[in-house]
Amino acid sequence: MKFLGIETSCDETAAAIVATGAKSQGPGKIHANVVHSQIEDHAAFGGVVPEIAARAHVEALDGIISSALNQAGVALKDLDGIAVTSGPGLAGGLIVGTMTARALAAVHDKPLYTINHLEGHALTARLTDGCAFPYLLLLVSGGHTQILLVRGVNNYERWATTIDDALGEAFDKTAKLLGLPYPGGPQVEKAALSGDPKYHRFPRPLSGRETLDMSFSGLKTAVRKAALEAKTLDSQMISHICAGFQAAVTDVLTDRLSRSFDRFEQMFETAPTLIAAGGVAANAQLRTALSSLCQKRDARWIAPPMELCTDNAAMIAWAGLERHRLNIDHKDEGIRPRWPLDQSAAAQPGARPFGAGRKGAKA
Ligand code: KG4
Ligand code: ZN
């Protein structure tokens, strides 16, 4: 079976052609995975501007879909279905993707699957590694910071979320405060290399509490204070602040994951497999810390290749294939800009809707 996947929920316009493999749990086969990043369109604003994103998706999407079909050497009529991200994300982009997918599905008489973007991330480890259920997912991007128990297709439990900023957003805001360009994550990581992580002892928010949830806004305030109080904010001081920030973030994630491992072990009487996804999962220090945590705890650690950790349409096509194979309902309910993967998880009072804090105009 082969699916076309379409992804336009944030600042990547993407299309992919993915096929199932011999085994039902994967791995699958990626015939084409085309991603156009809009980073340059947004860089001047220091964050994603929803109106610019929507316009850029309109301009790029048709060409991206054609490239994916050409690269895979398939025609729309040969496909078994079409999967498109219908949430969560920025409404304008979601409309562009779903309208296009709907039109293609209607014209070529193919089943249409409207997919939760987070489900795409959650199932990627099956596309790449044929990972069996259940497993734990750490999703850390510019819009999301969650620890999820992935029990099966359509069966997710959110164990932790941020109660304020997403982690990628915290990296981007830290960079902005220090005068580093957008997107901030890679810049902070680079600067941190020549800094002393102990020069500033930044807070580890919510540490010692029972919750697995995370909070990064206090950390951001501490970074701002350190920057304001520095006699000279030269490149050495910027490096110290970045190193201190990264150390705090790494400690927080390691602490929450270690306790998530305890919970998993109590439930399943075995150590978990941990999957990392999202742009922040590119951070080398974080990857090293997570892989050594897994080693210590006898857990399996899977970090899918970077191009499948960040936003892409292969994961959306794959989620469509998994649903199609299991005959899971595929009613088109239109776009859902706010759409928790675990419907039973309570909304966090301080958490912003996807994208709200990412716009360049905001601090
Ligand atoms: O998953 P992603 O590419 O896009 C969405 O958020 O939708 O994640 C982008 C986020 C940005 O906030 C960026 O600063 C962060 O991931 N990021 C990093 C690194 N590379 C990207 N954060 C920390 N370290 C990195 N190396
Ligand atoms: Zn994503």
User: Is any atom of ligand 1 closer than 6 Å to the C-beta of 87?
Assistant: no
Average pLDDT taken over every residue of the chain = 92
- Tell me the CA distances in angstroms from 259 to 83, 204, 212, 270, 287, one per residue in order: 35, 15, 7, 14, 18
Ligand nearest to the CA of 250: 1
Are residues 76 and 212 located together in one domain of the fold? Answer: no
| pLDDT tens digit sequence for 198-235 | 999 999 988 888 899 999 999 999 999 999 999 899 99
Q: Would residue 32 be called left, alpha or beta, if left means φ above 0 and alpha means ψ between -120 and 50 degrees?
A: beta
Query: Residue 352: pLDDT band by 50, 70, 90 thresholds?
Result: low
Are residues 104 and 236 located together in one domain of the fold? Answer: no
| pLDDT score of 357 more than 50 | no
Specify if 331 maps to a domain: no
DSSP strand E in 117-172: where?
135-140, 145-152, 155-161
CATH number at residue 18: 3.30.420.40
Specify if 360 maps to a domain: no
Are residues 200 and 252 located together in one domain of the fold? Answer: yes
Query: Residue 348: pLDDT band by 50, 70, 90 thresholds?
Result: low
| pLDDT score of 350 more than 80 | no
Are residues 123 and 257 located together in one domain of the fold? Answer: no
Distance 268 CA to ligand 1 centre (A): 32
Backbone angles phi, psi at 26, to 5 degrees: 100, -175
Are residues 290 and 315 located together in one domain of the fold? Answer: no
Are residues 139 and 198 located together in one domain of the fold? Answer: yes
| pLDDT tens digit sequence for 147-158 | 999 999 999 999
DSSP strand E in the chain: where?
2-7, 12-19, 29-37, 81-87, 112-116, 135-140, 145-152, 155-161, 273-277, 300-302
| pLDDT tens digit sequence for 159-168 | 999 999 999 9
Query: Residue 333: pLDDT band by 50, 70, 90 thresholds?
Result: confident
| pLDDT score of 302 more than 80 | yes
User: Is any atom of ligand 1 closer than 6 Å to the C-beta of 183?
Assistant: yes
Q: Which of 94, 171, 188, 242 to mutate to test the pocket of ligand 1 (most atoms within 8 A of CB)?
A: 171
Domain around 24 = 2-130+307-325
User: Is any atom of ligand 1 closer than 6 Å to the C-beta of 357?
Assistant: no
Are residues 38 and 81 located together in one domain of the fold? Answer: yes
- Surface-to-core class of residue 73, CB atoms within 10 Å of its CB (0-12 exposed, 13-18 middle, 19+ buried): exposed
pLDDT of residue 45: 85
Specify if 314 maps to a domain: yes
**Atom 2 in ligand 1: residue holding the nearest Cα:** 279
Specify if 347 maps to a domain: no
Specify if 335 maps to a domain: no
**Atom 8 in ligand 1: residue holding the nearest Cα:** 279
The 3-class SS string of 20-36 reads: CCCCCCCCCEEEEEEEE
**Atom 7 in ligand 1: residue holding the nearest Cα:** 142
* Cα(48)–Cα(30) distance, integer angstroms: 28
Are residues 173 and 36 located together in one domain of the fold? Answer: no
* Stretch 238-252: mean pLDDT: 97
Helix (H) or strand (E) holding 313: none
Are residues 245 and 217 located together in one domain of the fold? Answer: yes
| pLDDT tens digit sequence for 41-78 | 888 887 888 999 999 999 999 999 999 999 999 999 99
DSSP state letter for 247: H
| pLDDT tens digit sequence for 68-127 | 999 999 999 999 999 999 999 999 999 999 999 999 999 999 999 999 999 999 999 999
* Cα(169)–Cα(184) distance, integer angstroms: 8
Are residues 65 and 172 located together in one domain of the fold? Answer: no
Specify if 348 maps to a domain: no
Specify if 199 maps to a domain: yes
Are residues 97 and 207 located together in one domain of the fold? Answer: no
Are residues 169 and 28 located together in one domain of the fold? Answer: no
> Distance between terminal CA atoms of the chain?
46
Q: Give the chain's domain count.
A: 2
| Beta pairing partners, 156 | 150
Specify if 312 maps to a domain: yes
Query: Residue 128: pLDDT band by 50, 70, 90 thresholds?
Result: very high
Q: What is the pTM of this model?
A: 0.92
Query: Residue 360: pLDDT band by 50, 70, 90 thresholds?
Result: very low
For the chain, give the percent of residues with pLDDT over 70.
95
User: Is any atom of ligand 1 closer than 6 Å to the C-beta of 185?
Assistant: yes
